[in-house]
Structure 1
Amino acid sequence: MNASFGRLANNTIGVFCLIFMVSPLVLVVLFSFGSSSLMTFPLPGVTLGWYDALLARDDFWSALENSAIITGSVGLFSTVIGTCAAMVIARLRPTLSAAAFFLFGLPMMLPPLVLALALLSLFSVLGIKLSLVTVILAHLTFTMPFVILIVTARLRDFDYAVIDSARDLGASPLVTFFTVTFPLIRPTLFGAALIAMALSLDDFVITFFLIGGGNTLPTLVWGMLRTGLDPSINALGTLILLFTVGCSAAALKLTGYRG
């Protein structure tokens, strides 16, 4: 009896937690299709007008271009650099590996506001003008730790005998990587890149501090909110949500995550 009651209580709490976390996202999607400018129930009708209004905005396209440049660059560079770091960390002794994980993971553990202020101070001291480049560099600091963790976890179970065999047969380190290592860890690398891209696209605080001028999609949402509650904001939020969830789902599939 007590066991059954405990399971029922746990399931009930789990359902309520799930509803609490998911319902705001569902509302964003629903109101993006509502025909009324008032975000209330019941919806008077269904329309794609708010998406048309969003696509008609010039600042949306410039923000989309900036987000694409930043997200694509972060996905590429974080994967390349993070993979190189992971290949070294995976073959270190446990004590050195733990120290390396701690140092690389520091930006991931810092509050975004603190990290943004630190990077802003650094760029100011170095005399680097704020631009998309500074945003990309900043995003690399907190996305690379995720790539390193994911790739290192894959390399822990890697059979290094195949690499040694390739080297014994005369293959250079570069040839060995592209013909042996890369094909075996390719799904993990693509998954890590997608996670880095999702994190980069979703970031607001660091981007807001370091972009200097212009907008990305998250900062455009902030700007639109300051001028009023326009349902086209929900349309933009839905697009960001679809991309983020899509990248995360594809990444989990590619990396073989099983919970």
Structure 2
Amino acid sequence: MVAGLRTSSTLLGIAVFVFLYAPLALLVAYSFSASRTLTFPIRGFTFEWYAALANNEELLRAVANSLKVAAGVVFLTLLLGIPAAYALSRFAFRGSALVDHMLTLPLMIPGIITGLSILLLLKSFGFGLSLGAVALGHSVAWLPIVVEQVAARLRRLDRSIEEASLDLGAGYAQTFVRAVLPNLKGAITGSALLVFTLSFDEVSITFLLTATENTLSMQIWAMLRQGVTPEICAIATITVAFSGALIGLGVGLARS
């Protein structure tokens, strides 16, 4: 009976894996199809659609915009998330548990709600839509990732290192910079890569906060109005490969 249960569990796991990743495999295959119509079985093999992407100025501009936004989000989330994680991990104050739970709230709220909230806030202060607004919205959404990853590393860090630094006359700021921060490199780099990837692929928040400048996700959305083409499959293939590599690297570094 145990062997039968093990076999059933294995088959179920394989079925789930195929259900999740078979569409991605088909998408990758279509990106190399010589035919412009997405029909199965695939006919021929070509890199034509990837070459066409390199000559698409609108797409290249959208990629540049996505990179700018993602870089800004990484900067903002690290700037705010590292001190927040250190304060929550090292200093006891009234309401710290509530603050900790509130910081994780954006991860549980749908992106469309976060985007709408930022949109209303910007409108109330008279600010317009822009790539800066997109970066702000993404930062609110992904700040908890930096806080949680850095806080987890701080919990594993030997407190005697900080105590020794303080005993030798260093202040809290000097101790943080010279004794704590070097031990957080893995968590900081890992969370930065995860935030960069999530920002690069975000759609719902971007849709509400972007103006005339498209990001890559919005450019793909605009292209889909004309139907699914091999060029879109090629873009998606590159994006999946890029995101998967960054996420894998980020998770590995965050655990170090």
Q: Deviations over 1:210-232 (max 9, x none)?
A: 01111111101100000222210
Normalised by the length of structure 1, the TM-score is 0.93
1:97 CA drift (Å):
4.3
Normalised by the length of structure 2, the TM-score is 0.94
Contact in 2 for aligned 1:75/1:193 (Cα 8 Å): yes
Q: Deviations over 1:32-78 (max 9, x none)?
A: 11111122222211111101111111111110110010111111221
Aligned match of 1:133 = 132
Matched to 1:55, the amino acid is A
1:93 CA drift (Å):
4.7
Aligned match of 2:39 = 40
1:54-203 superposed matches below 5 A: 54-93=53-92, 96-203=95-202
Aligned match of 1:228 = 227
Contact in 2 for aligned 1:90/1:97 (Cα 8 Å): no
Q: Distance in 2 between matches of 1:3 and 1:96?
A: 49
Q: Distance in 2 between matches of 1:94 and 1:128?
A: 35
Name stretches of at least 5 consecutive residues in structure 1 with no aligned partner: none
Q: Distance in 2 between matches of 1:95 and 1:36?
A: 64
SS of match in other structure, 2:181: helix
Cα-Cα RMSD: 1.7
1:162 CA drift (Å):
1.1
Contact in 2 for aligned 1:190/1:251 (Cα 8 Å): yes
SS of match in other structure, 1:35: coil
Q: Distance in 1 between matches of 2:228 and 2:253?
A: 38
1:92 CA drift (Å):
4.5
Matched to 1:176, the amino acid is T
Contact in 2 for aligned 1:78/1:147 (Cα 8 Å): yes
Aligned match of 1:241 = 240
Across the two proteins, how many residue pairs are aligned to each other? 256
Name stretches of at least 5 consecutive residues in structure 2 with no aligned partner: none
Aligned match of 1:19 = 18
Q: Deviations over 1:109-155 (max 9, x none)?
A: 11111111111111111111110110011000111111111111111
1:200 CA drift (Å):
0.5
Deviates more, 1:93-102 or 1:229-238: 93-102
1:108 CA drift (Å):
1.3
